[in-house]
Chains A and B, each alone.
Chain A
Amino acid sequence: MTALTFLEQGFTRRNRRRSFATLFLLLFLIYFLLPLFWLIVSSTKSDPQLFSTFGLWFAHFNLVQNLREVFTYDGGIYLTWLGNTALYAISAGVGAALFATMAGYAFAKYRFRGRGVLFAVVLGSIMIPQTALVIPLYLLLSKVGIINTPFAVILPSLISPVGVFLMRVYAERAVPDALLDAARVDGAGEFRIFRSVSFRILVPGFATVLLLSFVATWNNYFLPLVVLSTPKYYPLTVGLAQWNSSSSAGGGANVLFSIVVAGSLVAVIPVAIAFLLLQRYWQGGLTAGGVK
C-alpha cells in the first residue's frame, strides 16, 4: 500500500467518524478510571506522603503496612464491616433479583385485575429517589422495631422497581406463551412452571438485576447511615466515613487517612469480582431452539 492511498483512506469520512468515536470513548475511560487510579496510587502511600507528594503518582511503597492497619485498627472492626456489607449486598442482591424476576414475570405473562395500575405504581416509584424515602422509612422501621438491626438495611433493599421493569420487558420477549401452555398441558402448576421452565430462561435478566442491586447495596451510604447506630452493624461505607471524619475532626491527633484510602481500595475489589463472575450470564439465545 502506498503512502498516498493510505492517506486517502485515512481521510475517508467513515474512518474519521470512527476515530472521533474512539477518542470520545477514550476520554470517558480516562474520566472514569482516573479516580480509581488515584485510589490505587494513594493506597500505597503513608499519611504524610498522602499530602506531600504528587497525587497521581507513586511515592514510597507503604501498601502492605496500610493494609495491615486497615485490618487491625480498632480491634479489626473493618473485617466486621466487610462482612456486614457482604451480607447486606448479597441478601439484597439475591432477594431483589428474585422478587423482581417473579414480579416482572407475573406482569409479563398473567392477565389479572389491577395489572395496569400496579405496573404504573412500579414505574412511578422508579422516579422517586431512595433518599427521599429514607425519613418515612426510618419512621416505619422504628414502628416495627427493627431500627438498628441488619433487617433495617436489607428489607428496603429487597425492592427494585427498575428490576421489576427490566424483568417484565425481558420476560415478555424471552418466555413464549406456548411454552407455558405446553407445561400446563404437561401437568405443571404455575409455580412449577416458573421454577422448572421460565426461571431458567430468565437467568440472564436475573443476573443483571442481581448485580445492579448488589452494587447499589454495596455502595449504599445514606440508608445504613440513617437506620444504623451501632458500629458493629455498619457496612464499609458508613464505617470508613466515620474513620474519615474522626481523622478530620481529630486535628492530626488521630490520622487515619491512609487506612481509609486503603480500606476503600479493598472495598472496591469484591464489586469488580462480582462483575466478572456474573458476566458469563449475559448471553442471549438461551431460549433458542425451544420455540421456533
Chain B
Amino acid sequence: MANISFENVTKRFADGTVAVDSLTLEINDGEFIVLVGPSGSGKSTALRMAAGLEDITHGIIRVGGSVVNDLTPKERDMAMVFQNYALYPNMSVYGNMEFGLKLRKMPKQERKARVTAAAKMLGIGELLERRPAALSGGQRQRVAMGRAIVREPQAFLMDEPLSNLDAKLRVQMRTEIARVHQQLQTTTMFVTHDQTEAMTMGDRVAVMRQGALEQVDTPEELYKRPVNLFVGGFIGSPAMNMVLARLVAEGDKLFAQFGSQRIAVPREHLSQRKQLASYKDKEVILGIRPEDLEDAEFAPRADPDALLDVEVALAEPMGAELVTYFEIDAPPVITKDTRDLSTDLDELDANKGKSLFTARIDSQSSARDGKPLKVVFDVTRLYFFDPQTEAAIR
C-alpha cells in the first residue's frame, strides 16, 4: 500500500488532444478517492497514467514516494478494474484470479489460499470453475474485483467499474466495494461520471473538467462550498438552480433581485464571504439547491422576504417528496460551465429570459401542474458566483 501523487501531470496524445492538463493531486495511503467529471474530462487517462498503460507527457507520478514514470505496469504493482471487466475469456474464474500471481511466480499453495480467501470475501466461491461467459454481469464484476484483490497491490485503480450494471446491482456493489476497502484499507482511485456514486463512495472527491482538476475535497465540502459554477452544478442531483441576479441594498437589508421578484440575502452571507459586499448593485449568479426550496405551506415561519410566487409547470410525485418544476422570469445562466453540464441545452436556448427551477418539496404539498405556488427559499443556503470568472464568491 502506498500514497500516490500526481505532480503537474499532463497527457498530450499524438493527435494533439490534451486529455490531462497539469494535474496535481495527492492521494493518501489507504485513502479512497473518487475522480468524477463528465465524459471526456480525462479521468480514465489520469488513471491509466498511474497504472503505466499510458505514457506521461509532462510531470511526475510518485507511488510511495518514488517516481514511477518510467516503470512498466508490472513494476508499479497496481491492480485495475475495468468498466467492461476485461476477464480472460479462455480461463476459469480461478484462472483469472490466479493469473497475476502466477506471473509473479507465487507458489501454488499460496495462490490457492489467496484466491480462495478473496472468492469467499466476494461470495463467488461456488463459481471458481466457471468461464466468464457463464457468469452474470454482477458475478463478472465480482471476479474482476477478486482478480485485483488477490494481488494485494500498492493500489486499486477502478475505471467506472459499476457502470455496466443495472441500477439495483450498482447500489449493491457500491456498498460491497466500500466494505472491501474498509477491510483491506488499500489506496483506491475510483473513476466515475456519476456524481451520486462519487458522493457516496469517496473519502475525498476530485472533480475534473476538460483535463483539469477543478476541486478536490470531501463530499460534504464539495456540496457546501463548490469553488466554481461547474462544481456547484455538477455536484448534487437534481442540479443546483442558478439565475442571474442583482444584489441591491435597501436600508440595512440586502436583496437579490431577479426578474420581477426578489429575496432577502441574510447578513451572515456577507460576513462569511468578504468579497460579497463589493458586488452590491452588481450582478451575481445566485444558486439554490432544489432541496433548499419548499412549499411555503410547510414552512410556516419563513421570512416573507424569502417567498416567491410561481406557477408550477410540472409536479412529479416521487413518493418521499414532490419534485416540482417552475419558471422564473429572469435570464438563465448560460456560460461555458452550464453548457458543459447541461443536458437540456435546447431548453436553455428556447427559454431565453426564463430560467427553469427545480424544487424538492414536501410530498403532502398540494402543488399541481399549472397551479400557483408559494415557494420559500432557505436563504441561509444561497450560493454566489461571479458571472465573469464563474468562481464562487468568497
User: B-contacting residues of A (Cβ < 8 Å)?
Assistant: 176, 178-179, 181-189, 192, 196-197, 200-201, 285-292
Report whether A182 and B86 are in contact in the complex, using a CB–CB cutoff of 8 Å. Answer: yes
Report whether B86 and A178 are in contact in the complex, using a CB–CB cutoff of 8 Å. Answer: yes
Q: Which residues of B are found within 8 Å of A197, using beta-carbon distances? A: 88, 90
Report whether B89 and A286 are in contact in the complex, using a CB–CB cutoff of 8 Å. Answer: yes
Q: Which residues of B are found within 8 Å of A189, using beta-carbon distances? A: 74
Q: A192 to B100, alpha carbons, bound, how many Å? A: 12
Report whether A184 and B53 are in contact in the complex, using a CB–CB cutoff of 8 Å. Answer: yes
Known: A291-B86, A291-B89. 15 other contacts (CB 8 A): A176-B84, A178-B84, A178-B86, A179-B86, A181-B86, A184-B53, A185-B53, A185-B80, A186-B100, A187-B74, A196-B99, A287-B89, A290-B88, A290-B133, A292-B84
Report whether B134 and A290 are in contact in the complex, using a CB–CB cutoff of 8 Å. Answer: no
Q: What distance in Å separates the Cβ of A252 from its nearest Cβ neighbour in chain B?
A: 61
Q: A98 to B85, alpha carbons, bound, how many Å? A: 29
Q: Which residues of B are found within 8 Å of A200, using beta-carbon distances? A: 89-90
The 21 listed contacts between A and B (C-beta, < 8 Å) are A179-B88, A181-B86, A182-B86, A182-B147, A184-B73, A185-B73, A185-B157, A188-B99, A189-B74, A196-B88, A200-B89, A286-B89, A287-B89, A289-B87, A289-B89, A289-B132, A290-B85, A290-B89, A291-B89, A292-B85, A292-B164
Report whether B73 and A290 are in contact in the complex, using a CB–CB cutoff of 8 Å. Answer: no
**B78 contacts the other chain (CB 8 A):** yes
Q: Which residues of A are found within 8 Å of B89, using beta-carbon distances? A: 179, 200-201, 286-291
Q: Which residues of A are found within 8 Å of B87, using beta-carbon distances? A: 182, 289-291
Q: How many residues on chain B are close to A (CB under 8 Å)?
A: 35
Among residues of A, the one whose C-beta sits closest to the C-beta of B78 is A185
Report whether A292 and B140 are in contact in the complex, using a CB–CB cutoff of 8 Å. Answer: yes
Of all A-B residue pairs in the complex, the 7 with the closest CB atoms, nearest first, are: A289-B133, A290-B89, A200-B90, A186-B100, A182-B86, A187-B74, A289-B132
Q: A189 to B100, alpha carbons, bound, how many Å? A: 11
**B4 contacts the other chain (CB 8 A):** no
Report whether A181 and B137 are in contact in the complex, using a CB–CB cutoff of 8 Å. Answer: no
Report whether A192 and B103 are in contact in the complex, using a CB–CB cutoff of 8 Å. Answer: yes
Report whether B134 and A176 are in contact in the complex, using a CB–CB cutoff of 8 Å. Answer: no
Q: Which residues of A are found within 8 Å of B104, using beta-carbon distances? A: 187
**B178 contacts the other chain (CB 8 A):** no
- B85, B87, B88 interface centre (most CB from chain A within 10 Å): B88
User: A-contacting residues of B (Cβ < 8 Å)?
Assistant: 48, 51-53, 72-74, 77-80, 82-90, 99-100, 103-104, 131-135, 137, 140, 147, 151, 157, 164
Q: Which residues of A are found within 8 Å of B79, using beta-carbon distances? A: 185-186
Report whether A291 and B84 are in contact in the complex, using a CB–CB cutoff of 8 Å. Answer: yes
Q: Which residues of B are found within 8 Å of A288, using beta-carbon distances? A: 89, 133
Q: Which residues of B are found within 8 Å of A181, using beta-carbon distances? A: 48, 51, 53, 80, 82, 86
Q: Which residues of A are found within 8 Å of B100, using beta-carbon distances? A: 186-187
Among residues of B, the one whose C-beta sits closest to the C-beta of A182 is B86
Known: A176-B86, A289-B87, A292-B140. A186 touches B134 (CB 8 A): no
Q: Which residues of A are found within 8 Å of B103, using beta-carbon distances? A: 186-188, 192
Q: A232 to B260, alpha carbons, bound, how many Å? A: 104
Report whether A289 and B134 are in contact in the complex, using a CB–CB cutoff of 8 Å. Answer: yes
Q: A285 to B133, alpha carbons, bound, how many Å? A: 9
Q: What distance in Å separates the Cβ of A192 from its nearest Cβ neighbour in chain B?
A: 7
Q: What distance in Å separates the Cβ of B85 from its nearest Cβ neighbour in chain A?
A: 6
Q: A128 to B134, alpha carbons, bound, how many Å? A: 46
Q: A187 to B99, alpha carbons, bound, how many Å? A: 9
Q: What distance in Å separates the Cβ of B136 from its nearest Cβ neighbour in chain A?
A: 10
Among residues of A, the one whose C-beta sits closest to the C-beta of B157 is A185
Report whether B84 and A185 are in contact in the complex, using a CB–CB cutoff of 8 Å. Answer: no
Q: A290 to B91, alpha carbons, bound, how many Å? A: 9
